[in-house]
């Protein structure tokens, strides 16, 4: 009588570190950051990787990353929002009118701007769920509606102009202004300059006055989004909703509430970027946020999000936005024609989609 050996249970089988890394959606984005860094180390001026150079490319990365992370969470939930860029212009107009034309303090203007954006996001989500139309179509319509409303609204409140100025003067002295504009840790940077650790100007002031607050918002938003996706029940609901809506609903996941909340999140992320940029520049105009909807989706896709939903990560979008910022600013440190930017970006998007598709098939066993 021969002894038989039972096959190991797959549920308790341990996976190698390589296998676990291959399953992480942000793997492609991390690899992309390494490749892009090597590329610019070889081709760009060393000034790109000084403290001032790093702040230069992290600033646009931060503004894109805030909406890119929100777009990634919505894509994981199985939907798109093409109205994000127009929402930046519309929310900027609402905010500008509240602080300049109506003279409201930031403690009232900011929540009111967020409330308007969240309401429009909820409308977006409700229409998608009620009609069953693809979110691509519904939000594409809102892209034009919000862009047109921004143009008309600004003309009404300015008497014919498409730009509203005077924001900087209106918010000067408000205790909330430093939280949404300017630089943080100025004292620390001045002390490092006095110690000779960082570069200084001829006046003796540090060449970099501090960390732009948009970068702090970017880091905080990425940390919170990652925590929600990986550690909270809401994260499981988002993945389940994007993976299989019917199965998620049968399992008790509040699919409708999750999707509408994600649309509201993307709208509020756009409003946050609008508030930061409007205060920084001191004005708002109808073209603000132009093409940002596509850039946010590109950052999410480079970060590992699948267009089919149910797979992706916030930290991947974080690195996707950094790649975007490095390419946007990095080309100015090289001798390349700046028009190569879009070619480079399109190539990165194509590589990311092919790579992510290959990873998805490997993870799911699909042929």
Q: What is the pLDDT of residue 260?
A: 96
- In the chain, the number of structural domains is 1
DSSP code string of 199-216: -B-TTSSBSS-SEEHHHH
Q: Which residue has the higher pLDDT, 344 or 222?
A: 222
In angstroms, rounded to a whole number, what is the distance separating the alpha carbons of residues 313 and 69?
8
Span 34-48, mean pLDDT? 89
- 95 lies in which domain range? 66-174+206-289
Beta bridge partners of 183: 212
Residue 120 is assigned to a structural domain of this protein: yes
pLDDT at 64 over 90: yes
In angstroms, rounded to a whole number, what is the distance separating the alpha carbons of residues 346 and 316?
18
Residue 6 is assigned to a structural domain of this protein: no
Residue 259 is assigned to a structural domain of this protein: yes
* Residue indicated by tokens 């049968």: 250
pLDDT-derived band at 162 (thresholds 50, 70, 90) equals confident
Residue 104 is assigned to a structural domain of this protein: yes
Residue 148 is assigned to a structural domain of this protein: yes
Q: What is the pLDDT of residue 3?
A: 47
pLDDT by residue (tens digit) across 285-302? 988 888 898 889 888 988
Residue 334 is assigned to a structural domain of this protein: no
Residue 71 is assigned to a structural domain of this protein: yes
151's tokens: 């143009």
Q: What is the pLDDT of residue 343?
A: 84
Residue 238 is assigned to a structural domain of this protein: yes
pLDDT by residue (tens digit) across 101-156? 999 999 999 999 999 999 999 999 999 999 999 998 999 999 999 999 999 999 99
Q: What is the pLDDT of residue 355?
A: 74
pLDDT at 10 over 60: no
């Amino acid at each position: 009588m021969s002894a038989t050996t039972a096959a190991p249970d797959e549920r308790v089988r341990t996976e190698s570190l390589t296998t676990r890394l291959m399953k992480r959606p942000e793997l492609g984005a991390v690899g992309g950051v390494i490749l892009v860094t090597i590329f610019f180390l070889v081709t760009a001026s060393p000034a790109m990787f000084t403290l001032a150079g790093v702040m230069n490319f992290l600033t646009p990365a931060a503004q894109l990353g805030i909406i890119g992370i929100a777009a990634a969470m919505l894509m994981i939930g199985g939907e798109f929002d093409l109205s994000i860029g127009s929402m930046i212009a519309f929310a900027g107009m609402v905010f500008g009118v509240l602080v300049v034309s109506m003279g409201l303090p930031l403690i009232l203007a900011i929540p009111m701007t967020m409330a308007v954006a969240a309401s429009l996001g909820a409308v977006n989500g409700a229409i998608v769920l009620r009609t069953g139309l693809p979110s691509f179509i519904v939000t594409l319509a809102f892209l034009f509606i919000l862009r047109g409303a921004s143009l008309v609204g600004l003309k009404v409140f300015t008497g014919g102009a498409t730009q509203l100025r005077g924001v900087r003067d209106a918010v000067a002295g408000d205790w909330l202004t430093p939280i949404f504009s300017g630089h943080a840790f100025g004292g620390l940077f001045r002390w490092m300059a006095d110690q000779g650790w960082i570069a200084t100007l001829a006046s003796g002031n540090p060449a970099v006055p501090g960390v732009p607050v948009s970068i702090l918002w970017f880091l905080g938003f990425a940390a919170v989004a990652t925590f929600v996706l990986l550690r909270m029940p809401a994260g499981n609901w988002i993945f389940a909703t994007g993976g299989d809506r019917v199965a998620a609903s049968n399992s008790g996941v509040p699919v409708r509430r999750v999707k509408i909340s994600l649309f509201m999140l993307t709208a509020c992320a756009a409003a946050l970027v609008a508030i930061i940029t409007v205060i920084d520049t001191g004005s708002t105009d109808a073209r603000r946020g132009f093409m940002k909807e596509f850039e946010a989706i590109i950052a999410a896709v480079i970060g590992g999000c699948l267009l089919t939903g149910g797979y992706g990560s916030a930290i991947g979008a974080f690195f996707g936005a950094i790649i975007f910022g490095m390419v946007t600013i990095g080309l100015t440190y090289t001798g390349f024609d700046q028009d190569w930017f879009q070619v480079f970006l399109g190539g990165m998007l194509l590589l990311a989609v092919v790579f992510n598709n290959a990873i998805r098939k490997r993870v799911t066993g699909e042929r």
